[in-house]
A and B are shown apart, each in its own frame.
Chain A
Amino acid sequence: MTDTRIDRRMAKIKAEGRPALVTYFMGGDPNYETSLKVMQALPKAGADIIELGMPFSDPMADGPAIQAAGLRALKSGQTLAKTLKMAREFRKTDDETPIVMMGYYNPIYIYGVDRFLADAKQSGIDGLIVVDLPPEMDNELCVPAIKAGINFIRLATPTTDDKRLPKVLENTSGFVYYVSMTGITGSALANTAKVSDAVKRIKAHTDLPVCVGFGVKTAEQARTIGASADGVVVGTAIVNAIANVLGPNGEHTADPAEAVVTLVNGLAQGVRAARLETA
């Protein structure tokens, strides 16, 4: 597979001697226009990689915050086609920041795998994280995605032991997403020392960058996790920043994009401070 935006961006950040800030938000939350503004604001606020959430009615691995964000998006009429369109809009002004689409398999399956991969490639999508496609189901989407030149980023978890890791890493590219805990998104952060050990364990099996997510909400946590990981993923905190400025009927009480920028600015400082003590 040739170099992707993810590979280039990760190499650049490594050269800077700091971990990457990977930011998740839900496409279409609370509506298409606002969500596009959030996406466009992310790189300037300090996000290195964007995870673009694909809403799904039944997000089995997500906590209440991301569940609610998905429902807001669906209620406002978000579809997979619109999420792809959002990426195309974003690409008009930014051809560098990697976009990873994250979600569940069924909307992609119904869209049609081949059609989806063609449209994703054409929309400037660089990677995919599909929660309910473990390596055992690689023929569904992972193998076709690699053929289409799109990174398939795998989740490794505390239950993925050394025996299983090679299988999980086999078709992974771009980076490895280490899930810091056994649990759903938005739970309390796990023991950071354990996370650091787990990152070392995974790095013994692969040269790919390892980004850590699930439970990272503050700049301080980003700094701590970023001391050992190649990247830090923040999702629920960003989704909450948007939810906090929404009124009961979805109207804004403040600018959601601005709220996200404030949060991401702080997180970006956190990851930039991550290696100072350890360097």
Chain B
Amino acid sequence: MNETVQPNSFRTGPDEQGMFGIFGGRFVAETLMPLILDLERHWNEAKDDPEFKAELSALSNYYAGRPSKLYFAEGLTRHLGGAKVYFKREDLNHTGSHKINNCLGQILLAKRMGKKRIIAETGAGQHGVASATVSARFGFPCVVYMGATDVERQKPNVFRMKLLGAEVKPVSAGHGTLKDAMNEALRDWVTNVEDTYYLIGTAAGPHPYPELVREFQSVIGSEARAQMLELEGRLPDAIIAAVGGGSNAIGLFHPFLDDKDVRIIGVEAGGRGLDGIEHCASMNAGRPGVLHGNRTYLLQNEDGQILDGHSISAGLDYPGVGPEHSWLRDTGRVEYVPILDDEALEAFKLTTKVEGIIPALESAHAIAQAVKLAPTMGKDQIIVVNLSGRGDKDVHTVAGMMGMEI
């Protein structure tokens, strides 16, 4: 483990070089570098521009349906018999997940920069759908790169993207998952630098993406914190979110990072177990390396070649993680734990049964951790779980796991 000095605040990163400790940075080809500096300049202007903030806020409210509710999951709480479990209902957003928060912010940036074309990568298809949605809304042509394996297991989302006017390009390199889609999106970007905006879906990639995605997603944690104070008059004892690239997690966590009494838990995809390579738990079983523009924990072999990993959930099927999570791991502020495919599937079924909510398989990983944790806590204690997306897209996968045809 890397030695990291404990900061006075966990909320001040990244530094001017885009680093969170040793993580982050700008590891990109020279062709992209001027573009990334330009993006940083526009982002720095936009984030302090009242007009930009007002436009984003209006879209968030009237278009995406924010604020999302903080819902007391009474059925699940009763079933678990311990701490009170709340869901932050990002599944109720327009397009069905937290991804819209980031997409609305970035499409406004793209517009501000005078770009003419949007590209995006997607794993589960939630970011692809959100990108296609905002592209439709603002009149941009949109190309979504998606691993061929994911195109197969997320058919409903592929169709939604096409309906929304996006072109979905299947990527068959590697295992045909999110990592390969991101490589291909970067190749498109390097080819079409002049007119294209790369709408990255997670809090990873070269600086300033990890920062700006976090800022657009922090609305989750800011709302949850205020809603909890209003509902319970105090902060929660623990907050939990699933971590693939980690955008919904950093969005929930960031506003709570300096609330030292709040335990923060990120859930990685444990897949079929951490012994082999069939998981995506980069922070539990990987080591720091450089991929996709940033230094972060990665699944890799001893020669520095990136491994593909595995998760039942396409949205968590990524061998890396956002750099701020890597830093939060090393500082010890956030705990990162693995949840297995089977545990996530059980949580998926349980939530559907006792709450009447079908969660995304990604979110089911976070719920599974609450299922473990809540019974060990007192009834006067509180857990907030980020219900990052709805599970309609996953019913084919789940049916397959249950041996059913639909």
Contacts and interface: CB of A to CB of B under 8 A. Distances in A.
B29 A106 contact: no
Nearest to A154: B30
B325 interface: no
Given A61-B29, A184-B187, A132 B304 contact: no
A136 B187 contact: no
A56 B179 CA distance: 14
Contact of B304 (A60, A80, A184): A80
Contacts of A132: 27-29, 290, 293
A106 B33 contact: no
A17 interface: no
B192 interface: yes
A58 interface: yes
Nearest to A67: B173
Nearest to A214: B31
B398 interface: no
B114 interface: no
Given A60-B183, A184-B190, A109 B26 contact: no
Interface stretch (A159-167, A198-206, A259-267): A159-167
B316 interface: no
A208 to B, nearest CB: 15
B304 A111 contact: yes
B157 to A, nearest CB: 24
A135 B17 CA distance: 12
A105 B193 CA distance: 22
A168 interface: yes
A58 B291 contact: yes
B400 interface: no
B34 A164 contact: yes
B337 interface: no
Contact of B194 (A154, A155, A182): A182
Interface in A121-179: 131-137, 154-161, 164, 168, 179
B300 interface: yes
B194 to A, nearest CB: 7
Contacts of A81: 303
Q: Is the interface of A mostly helix, strand, loop or mixed?
A: loop
Given A110-B303, A157-B31, A137 B25 contact: yes
A141 to B, nearest CB: 10
A206 B383 CA distance: 61
B81 interface: no
A177 to B, nearest CB: 9
A172 B26 CA distance: 19
Nearest to A108: B304
Interface string B285-313: 00101111101001010111110000000
Nearest to B191: A183
A127 B27 CA distance: 19
A76 interface: no
Contacts of A157: 29-31
A187 interface: yes
Question: Which of the four size classes fits the interface of chain A?
Answer: 35 or more
Nearest to B188: A184
B26 A110 contact: no
A195 interface: no
B34 A183 contact: no
A110 B154 CA distance: 34
B179 A106 contact: no
Interface in A215-235: none
A136 B193 contact: no
A57 interface: yes
Contacts of B298: 106
B274 interface: no
Contact of B193 (A57, A159, A187): A159
Contacts of B35: 159
A48 to B, nearest CB: 24
A133 B25 CA distance: 10
B37 to A, nearest CB: 8
B291 A106 contact: yes
A60 B31 contact: no
B193 A106 contact: no
16 contacts: A56-B304, A58-B306, A60-B190, A61-B187, A63-B187, A79-B303, A105-B290, A110-B289, A132-B27, A134-B33, A155-B30, A159-B33, A179-B30, A182-B190, A183-B190, A183-B191
Given A57-B305, A106-B290, A182-B31, 17 more contacts: A55-B305, A57-B174, A58-B291, A61-B190, A74-B305, A80-B303, A80-B304, A105-B290, A106-B304, A109-B290, A110-B302, A111-B304, A136-B26, A137-B27, A155-B29, A157-B31, A187-B191
Interface of B: 17, 25-35, 173-174, 179, 183, 186-187, 190-194, 287, 289-293, 295, 298, 300, 302-306
